[in-house]
Amino acid sequence: MKGFRFWFVASLMLLVCRESYAGREQEPLRPEWLAEDYKSIELVSLLGSPAPLTTQRIRDILDVGDDGEEEDLGFGASKFDIAKGHGYTSLYIEGFVFRGSIGLYKVGIRGSQESWPRISERVIDLWKQNHGPTFEVNDTGLVHTETNDAVLQRYRSSVSAELGEMKSVEIPDELKKSFDYLTSPIGNRAVGDTDGEIAIDGLLNAKRVDLVENVLRGFNASGRVYAALALLKLSKKNELVLSPDTISTIAKVSNLDIAIISVRGCLVSSRTANEILSEPDDPEDPPM
């Protein structure tokens, strides 16, 4: 939880920094900071593949002690986010683990929208020189992603055995990003975060209750709570009659003993699904 709060506050600070850069000339980059960034890329050769790694080994390589976020996802699964900040960038590793095996692994360089365009060419060259794995580039850095489908399928089977199988439905291209974000085990991170709100609203605005019901049976803890909240609200407004199967699944989700990050304004807390679902409706909440 310490790690989440750090990155949540850091994200807010980054937004403030971005605003402060707008409308003024770019400051010269500090050579000593660049040296830290470039030196850190030498570690990529040790972090390029998850095969020989554990979370403790990753911490040792990055020399971060006990820093970083580890979150229990239930069903024998967890996810981690471990990073080491340098001058203008951070070297980070995110992963999903099911019963001791890594099912999804990301290693990348994360910068800012102001600094990344100015250093990206050199960072990419050094990544390649240090035998870094294949990568994709975005607005603030680069990332390599690996998945172990066998591990992910075992996790999905474990969840489905408890909550029921997702229905086989078509997902249009314009909703796929929202659906994947709400169902991926390392997608949505909190109830109350902007991206999660946008994702669930996208499904609701498209009148795709069937997709919301699949999110309820999905593989992301906070995504399941978003779905339960949405379905219960539609039922309360007499816009949807919940099936006995859906009511049973909501009860199962509510009873899961999994800590979920909840964000309300500047307040960040850890609560169970039951605690979140038991809250009285906020009269100021906009309609879904």
| DSSP per position, 223-240 | HHHHHHHHHHHHHHTTS-
114 found inside a domain = yes
Task: Say if residue 123 is in the same domain as residue 225.
Answer: no
Task: Say if residue 17 is in the same domain as residue 115.
Answer: yes
- Report d(CA 75, CA 271) in Å as an integer: 17
Task: Say if residue 173 is in the same domain as residue 126.
Answer: no
Q: State the DSSP H helix or E strand holding residue 173, giving kind and residue range, or none if neither.
A: helix 173-183
Task: Say if residue 9 is in the same domain as residue 140.
Answer: yes
Take residue 231 and report the two structure tokens written for it.
Answer: 């379905």
Confidence band (pLDDT; 50, 70, 90) for 122?
very high
Take residue 229 and report the two structure tokens written for it.
Answer: 């909240």
User: How confident is the model over 165-191, as pLDDT tens digits?
Assistant: 999 999 999 999 999 999 999 888 899
- Report d(CA 196, CA 202) in Å as an integer: 10
Task: Say if residue 129 is in the same domain as residue 75.
Answer: yes
Helix axes 209-216, 244-255, angle to 10 degrees: 40
Statement: the pTM of the whole predicted model exceeds 0.85: no
The total domain count for the chain is: 2
Task: Say if residue 173 is in the same domain as residue 74.
Answer: no
Residue 288 has pLDDT above 90, yes or no: no
Mean pLDDT for all residues in the chain: 88
Task: Say if residue 107 is in the same domain as residue 204.
Answer: no
Task: Say if residue 9 is in the same domain as residue 100.
Answer: yes
284 found inside a domain = no
Question: For residue 243, what are the domain limits?
Answer: 164-277
34 found inside a domain = yes
Task: Say if residue 132 is in the same domain as residue 258.
Answer: no
Rounded to the nearest 5 degrees, what angle is found at the Cα of 247, between the Cα atoms of 246 and 248?
Answer: 90
Whole-number percent of the chain with pLDDT over 90: 74
Query: Among residues 193, 256, 245, which one has the least CA distance to residue 221?
Result: 256
Q: What backbone torsions phi and psi does residue 18 show, to the nearest 5 degrees? A: -60, -40
